[in-house]
Structure 1
Amino acid sequence: MTSSMPLEGIRVIDMTEALAGPYCAMMLGDMGADVIKVERTGSGDQARKWGPPFLESESAYYMSTNRNKRCITVDIKDPDDLARLHKLLETADVFITNNPRLDSLKRYKLDPDYLRSINPKLIFSALSGYGHTGPKANRGGYDLIAQGETGLMAITGGPEDGPMRFPTPISDITGGLYSTIGILNALYARDKKAGGSGSGQFLDVALVDSEMTWLANLGGSYLNAGQKPKKMGNQHPTITPYQPVRAKDKDIIIAVGTQAVWGRFYKILDLDEALVASRFATNEQRNEHRDELIALIEEVLMTQNADHWIDQFVAHQIPAGPINLPDEILEDEHTLARGMVIEMDHPLVGTVRNIGNPINLSETPVTYRKHPPMLGEHNDEIDEEIGWQ
């Protein structure tokens, strides 16, 4: 019988900390992989102390990125402990590290060349700030550095604002997701060879590269037309109206992305047909007269509360929605119905709530099997599995 977990039987050794690497490993764990988190003896992952808030001795930060893992502790400076780690790596399919310098791993024979010599099928995934090639290779890097380096901070916020950080570690999450994609690609390439004879490979993902992909259409406008991105606040650079607008009681989002949607939108607001035809008929005209159009829209919207307009727009297939606070979306009935808030039993704190995995597969859904592990919780269990005494 085929397993309902597509990565069941795949062993991942997660020797990372903070967010990007643990997030990648958690995604693989959600898909059924046996993820073993390797932490420093005594202190563990630095994120365990990133708080408050804390749940007993564990930080909420750590709890959010480490479900579906087992944990062992290793002192790589101890020869016996290092030999134990090498024995574990001989059983692995994937090794994930976020050490910025691969040469420092050579001292402990944890570099790609050595590990793949003892385990040719191993996929070695290196996740770092700048990657392992290029003039900035091997520099240390955190999420905030990547946000600044890639130009995103310079164009986030309104025209009068200074550089602005996205409030959550978007570079880490993006780097973790690209690493997940790369690992799945490497597993498929390895295992599609006849008789499973394929070998592993080296995967190099950088936070800066990953964050740069968020430039997307703005980057394309510069590369192909020389148009430099600028701060526009909540406005879209090429679509109008596509932004927050003020209703009677609060702001709402409207996203009039096509000409057909515009035709329905302006009729609901009963805008003057002659004025629309002369100044707002096309998206190009609406961009040109953006300020005038937004003022007209808000004059109408201010006559009713936000819920009234959202109901009207949704009923006429016009994309619109509220501007929620994080607590509102985490308690929203749609969020809960989609399974995006999960609960797991935890031996120390009782119940841990996490944001769920958004990947919804009909035949091989993600699963939530293991609570975020306590430091060294599975030392004896894993030692027994690999025959280490």
Structure 2
Amino acid sequence: MTATSLQKKALGHIRILDLTRVLAGPWCAQNFADLGAEVIKVERPGNGDDTRSWGPPYLRDQNGDNTTEAAYYLAANRGKQAITVDISTPEGQEIIKKLAAQSDVVLENYKVGQLKKYGLDYASLKEMKPDLIYCSITGFGQNGPYAHRAGYDFIVQGMGGFMSLTGERDELPGGGPQKAGVAIADLMTGMYATIAVMAALTHRDRTGEGQYIDMALLDVQVAMLANMNTNYLASGKPPVRWGNAHPNIVPYQTFATSDGHIIVAAGNDGQYKKFVAAGGEEQLASDERFSTNPARVANREVLIPLLAEMVKRKSRQEWIALLEEAGVPCGPINRLDDVFNDPQVKARGMQITLPHPTAGSVKLVGSPMKLSATPPDYQAPPPLLGQHTDQILKSVLGYDDEQLNQFRQRGII
């Protein structure tokens, strides 16, 4: 890689040794790959990352047949180089130690203490590379009464309070706790881990000192509740579920149109007046029960059915056109086919296509990070299992073909 090409990659000088699998760790590592870092993904020989088989759907090859790459795996592994190493063997452990010695960062999401028995824990690797940054991602962290529990996103969403806030109100049909449609605790842990590693790299560059990072899904889930946390801490009252409504603003919710759903977010009395005027129901603004937001909140149960009946008279697009013209905040509830056909999403380059060794090409979601001088660099598609084993072990560690053949015959790689 030339000096000029490295300058165009924000993190082109960084090597990440990625010992993670599933989502939180791979999501973090993919951020680094997008920003130009060299990411070496280490997987088990034969099986690899569990998510490779978490399908259907699977990526299809050029003949239309399923490949071995599940769509789930494709979501979090772009831009990496993949090697397979059996870390339970002494030879495999030696390979990982040598790679760590030549890396800036090690990411891992094994159970607490599991890597220590292989000599691949932070204390062991720090002995040979004092400036190493080592990030562990677990469900509950390295200490505390739950430290040795396995951590799953769904469970953490419940334990961390998210599901007490999400879902329809208990007294309404379909009421009750609801998880998010994606693994938010995993994804946000991956994002927080990215920030923490970047901070540690900056500290290392200033001082020469490496450090250990302890990331826990439960910690992240608690932290990301933001104002709901402080609402509770300030009042002593746990917030409750409101579904798609707002506890303090009316109307600020979803409505069914004649052919779909829209969101209306009337944040003040003026916007509310314009909303009902657009629907031909001006009297709902002059009625003293509904003329101010406090009155609308108090009379929510009376007002919302009237608004719902009004909204059903027009289509989704009719309402969006009317309300945009009137200056009332609104938006559709899109399916993913709508999302990727949206002109704004297209303009922002949020769908990308990369060449793929078996499928010919693969459609992926672009990074939301827009940097003017060092934009995301989509180096390669998610790698096949063990695709770069020989290349990495030869170029980085200096193994020859005979050694690699011996390792392969013994199942070490």
The aligned runs of 1:336-355 (5 Å cut-off) are: 336-355=346-365
> Alpha-carbon deviation of 1:166?
1.8
Residues 273 and 162 from structure 1, CA distance in 2 versus in 1: closer, same or farther, beyond 3 angstroms?
closer
Tell me, yes or no, if structure 1 residue 331 matches structure 2 residue 335.
no
Deviation at 1:270, TM superposition (A): 5.4
Paired residue for 1:59, among 59, 64, 70?
70
> 2:284 touches 2:290 (CA, 8 Å); kept in 1?
no
Q: CA deviation at 1:343?
A: 0.8
Amino acid at match of 1:369: Q
- 1:48 maps to 52
Q: 1:276 to 1:128 in 2, by over 3 A?
A: farther
Residue 100 of structure 1 aligns with an amino acid whose one-letter code is: K
Between 1:222-231 and 1:261-270, the stretch displaced more is 261-270
Between 1:364-373 and 1:300-309, the stretch displaced more is 300-309
Q: Which secondary structure does the structure 2 equivalent of 1:57 belong to?
A: strand
**8 Å CA contact retained: 1:329, 1:335:** yes
Alpha-carbon distance between aligned partners in 1 of 2:258 and 2:73, rounded to the nearest angstrom: 41
The structure 2 residue matched to 1:177, chosen from 171, 174, 191, is: 191
SS in 2 for 1:335: helix
**2:326 is the alignment partner of 1:322:** no
Q: Give distance in 1, aligned partners of 2:198 and 2:270.
A: 39
Instruction: State the partner residue of 1:7.
Output: 11
1:81 aligns with 2:92: yes
1:108 corresponds to 2:122: no
Query: 1:227 corresponds to which residue?
Result: 237
Structure 1 length-normalised TM: 0.92
- Whether the 8 Å CA contact 1:7–1:31 is kept in 2: the answer is yes
Report the equivalent of 1:205.
Answer: 215
Deviations 1:271-294 (A, max 9, x none): 546954733344333222223332
Contact 2:74 2:382 in 1 (8 A): yes
Amino acid at match of 1:15: L
Q: Distance in 2 between matches of 1:187 and 1:151?
A: 32
Identity rate, percent: 40
Question: Deviations along 1:309-333, whole A, 9 cap, x unmatched?
Answer: 1012122332211111223213333
Deviation at 1:236, TM superposition (A): 1.4
Cα deviation for residue 123 of structure 1 reads 1.1
Say yes or no: does 1:129 pair with 2:143: no
Of stretches 10-19 and 132-141 in structure 1, the one that deviates more from structure 2 is: 132-141
CA contact (8 A) 1:87 1:386 kept: no
Alpha-carbon distance in 1 for matches of 2:193, 2:285: 51
Helix, strand or coil at the partner of 2:87: coil
Native 8 Å contact 2:45 2:86 kept in 1: yes
* Structure 1 contact 12–33 (Cα < 8 Å) conserved: yes
Aligned residues: 384
Aligned position for 1:189: 203
Q: Runs of 5+ in structure 1 lacking a partner?
A: none
Give SS of 1:364's match. coil
Amino acid in the other structure paired with 1:156: T
SS of aligned partner of 1:279: coil
Query: For residues 275 and 333 of structure 1, do their structure 2 counterparts lie closer, same or farther at Cα, with a shift above 3 Å needed?
Result: closer
CA contact (8 A) 2:273 2:282 kept: no
Shift of 1:78: 1.9
Alignment of 1:368-383 (within 5 A): 368-383=378-393
Distance 1:237 1:217 in 2: 13
Question: How much has 1:75 moved relative to structure 2?
Answer: 1.0
1:264 Cα deviation after fit: 4.2
Which residue number corresponds to residue 142 of structure 1?
A: 152
Cα distance change, pair 290–4 in 1 and its aligned pair in 2 (3 A): farther
- Measured after TM superposition, the shift of residue 213 of structure 1 is 3.0
Distance 1:275 1:6, change over 3 A: closer
RMSD: 2.0
Counterpart of 2:305 in 1: which secondary structure? helix
Secondary structure of 1:61 counterpart: helix
Distance 1:325 1:384, change over 3 A: same
Residues 92-143 of structure 1 deviation map (CA, whole Å, 9 limit, x = unaligned)? 1111000121x22111111111212211221111111011122211211111
